[in-house]
């Protein structure tokens, strides 16, 4: 009880302290905007993909990753050529420069011409298939997942009870089967969807967790990644759909004919909205989580005093724990909804809606 009360007092002080600082005058007004913009840039930078694997930006700790470009030919070189985006890289007689996290083709001096109307560079953007930090992380995490589960699966060869790692993972596998797949898809046809549900769950969860590490691998807060996952869910749903699924979309049984006509376009739209919602939900949740935590850490530097340091550190810790939960929850929700859509596709009965 006491701890709880102390905590609520602490939280209240967090909420009030910005007001106090603002009220106390702007003695440090000179440096504050700089700190704020720096934090904003840092967060933006953190959320963005990058061409080299930076572990500690200030000290240059990290390693370069391969750049693969398709631009009137094939270009392959290491990202160290860019010198962290400061230099112009030359490959097969063409020059490239990183501008705002994207590679543009430039001249030898690296001139970026800005389009006045759109505020985007008008330089040519080559097709970029680089192994970026996110791609590298995805590969790394995928290898980790495969190694973990291969090991886990192998341990069944010796006994009916898995090894230590397996004992940790097995309840999750059983959880996905018994609490996600079977209730939503049904006992008859859940088997064919299990590999995808399991893979997608652990893929998202592990990547979310990787995003929690100080390495700053924000894979699941990238729309391209969530789009890919949602796309696979969409494709599997459409291709395994039974007759009843299409009937429910185009000619809803059990409603009057005029309603059927009205419902058809709505339901058809729903087919696309569902995976779209999946994509946005995961992307937005993970992005928001990162932004909030990094902003709170940033506040440490804005209110540069001992009290704020302690307070915001505590809040960061609390939010990090919350994010840990969200990491699991988002993986669960994605898998759950995917199973729900599969369930609608696999349903053969016409008795419920």
Partner 1 sequence: MEKLLNDFSVGLFFWQMIVFLVLLFLLKKYAWTAILVSVKAREDKIKEGLEAADKAKEMMRQMKEDNEELLAKARLEREGIIKAAREAKDKMISDAKLKASEEADKVIKSAQEAIKAEKNAAMNEIKTHVAELSISIAEKILKKELAADGKQNELIEAAMNESKLN
Find the angle CA(98)-CA(103)-CA(106) to the nearest 5 degrees: 80
**135 makes contact with partner 1 (CB under 8 A):** yes
**In this structure, what token pair is assigned to residue 65?**
């990753």
**146 makes contact with partner 1 (CB under 8 A):** yes
Between 247 and 273, name the residue whose CB sits nearer to partner 1. Answer: 273
* Strand 61-64 to 52-56 pairing: antiparallel
**277 makes contact with partner 1 (CB under 8 A):** no
CA separation for the pair 196, 188 (Å, rounded)? 17
Exactly one of 54, 106, 184, 222 binds partner 1 (CB under 8 A); which one?
222
CA 114, 115, 118, 121 torsion-angle sign: negative
Report the SS3 class of residue 105. Answer: strand
The least distance separating partner 1 from the CB of residue 73, rounded to whole angstroms, comes to: 17
Give the interface segment with partner 1, choosing from 19-27, 34-42, 148-156, 264-272 (CB under 8 A).
Answer: 148-156
Which residues make beta-bridge pairs with 128? 69
Exactly one of 14, 42, 227, 251 binds partner 1 (CB under 8 A); which one?
227
**152 makes contact with partner 1 (CB under 8 A):** yes
The least distance separating partner 1 from the CB of residue 181, rounded to whole angstroms, comes to: 10
Between 31 and 40, name the residue whose CB sits nearer to partner 1. Answer: 40
The least distance separating partner 1 from the CB of residue 326, rounded to whole angstroms, comes to: 21
Contact call for residues 184 and 340 (beta carbons, < 8 A):
yes
- The dihedrals phi and psi of 93, each to the nearest 5 degrees, come to 80, 10
Between 45 and 107, name the residue whose CB sits nearer to partner 1. Answer: 45
The least distance separating partner 1 from the CB of residue 128, rounded to whole angstroms, comes to: 4
**3 makes contact with partner 1 (CB under 8 A):** no
* 114 Ramachandran zone, left/alpha/beta (phi>0; psi -120 to 50): beta
Query: Which x/- pattern, by CB under 8 A, does the window 228-257 give for partner 1?
Result: xx-xx-------------------------
The least distance separating partner 1 from the CB of residue 242, rounded to whole angstroms, comes to: 22
Between 286 and 308, name the residue whose CB sits nearer to partner 1. Answer: 286
The least distance separating partner 1 from the CB of residue 68, rounded to whole angstroms, comes to: 8
Name the CA radius of gyration of the chain, rounded: 25
Burial 280-313 (b: 16+ CB within 10 A, else e): ebbbebbbebbbbbbbbbbbbbbbeeeebeebbe
Give the interface segment with partner 1, choosing from 83-91, 135-143, 265-273, 342-350 (CB under 8 A).
Answer: 135-143
Find the angle CA(92)-CA(130)-CA(43) to the nearest 5 degrees: 125
Report the SS3 class of residue 116. Answer: coil
**76 makes contact with partner 1 (CB under 8 A):** no
Map the footprint of partner 1 across residues 191-210, applying CB under 8 A: 191, 194-196, 198-199, 203
Alpha-carbon distances of 339 from 151, 196, 246, 303, 304, rounded to whole Å: 26, 10, 17, 46, 48
**127 makes contact with partner 1 (CB under 8 A):** yes
Report the SS3 class of residue 70. Answer: strand
Map the footprint of partner 1 across residues 7-46, applying CB under 8 A: none
The least distance separating partner 1 from the CB of residue 59, rounded to whole angstroms, comes to: 27
Residue in 23, 126, 124, 150 with CA at minimum distance from that of residue 69: 126
**168 makes contact with partner 1 (CB under 8 A):** no
Which residues make beta-bridge pairs with 102? 99
Give the interface segment with partner 1, choosing from 54-62, 168-176, 264-272, 337-345 (CB under 8 A).
Answer: 168-176
Residues forming contacts to partner 1 in the complex (CB under 8 A) are 48-49, 68, 120, 127-132, 134-135, 138-139, 142, 145-146, 149-150, 152-154, 156, 160-162, 170, 173-174, 177, 191, 194-196, 198-199, 203, 222-225, 227-229, 231-232
């Amino acid at each position: 009880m006491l701890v709880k009360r102390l905590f609520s007092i602490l939280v209240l002080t967090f909420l009030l302290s910005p007001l106090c600082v603002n009220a106390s005058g702007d003695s440090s007004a000179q440096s504050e905007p700089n700190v704020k913009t720096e934090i904003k840039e840092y967060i933006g930078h953190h959320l963005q993909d990058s061409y080299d694997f930076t572990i500690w930006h200030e000290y240059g700790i990290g390693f370069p990753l391969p750049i693969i470009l398709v631009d009137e030919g094939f270009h392959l070189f290491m990202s160290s050529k860019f010198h962290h985006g400061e230099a112009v890289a030359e490959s097969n007689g063409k020059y490239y420069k990183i501008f705002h996290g994207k590679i543009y083709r430039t001249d030898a001096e690296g001139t970026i011409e800005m389009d006045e109307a759109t505020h985007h560079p008008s330089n040519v953007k080559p097709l970029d298939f680089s192994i970026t930090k996110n791609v590298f992380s995805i590969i790394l995490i995928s290898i980790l997942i495969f190694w973990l589960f291969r090991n886990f699966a192998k341990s069944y060869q010796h006994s009916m009870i898995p090894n230590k790692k397996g004992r940790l993972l097995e309840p999750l596998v059983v959880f996905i089967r018994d609490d996600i797949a079977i209730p939503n898809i049904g006992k008859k046809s859940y088997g064919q969807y299990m590999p995808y549900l399991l893979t997608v769950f652990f893929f998202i969860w592990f990547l979310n967790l990787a995003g929690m590490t100080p390495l700053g691998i924000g894979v699941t807060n990238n729309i391209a990644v969530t789009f890919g996952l949602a796309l696979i869910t969409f494709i599997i749903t459409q291709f395994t759909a039974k007759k009843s699924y299409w009937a429910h979309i185009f000619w809803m049984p059990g409603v009057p004919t005029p309603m059927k006509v009205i419902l058809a376009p709505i339901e058809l739209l729903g087919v696309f909205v569902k995976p779209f919602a999946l994509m946005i939900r995961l992307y937005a949740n993970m992005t928001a989580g990162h932004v909030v935590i990094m902003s709170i850490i940033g506040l440490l530097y804005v209110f540069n005093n001992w009290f704020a340091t302690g307070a915001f550190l505590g809040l960061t810790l609390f939010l990090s724990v919350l994010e840990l939960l969200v990491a699991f929850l988002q993986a669960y929700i994605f898998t759950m909804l995917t199973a729900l859509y599969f369930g609608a596709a696999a349903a053969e009965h016409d008795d419920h809606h």
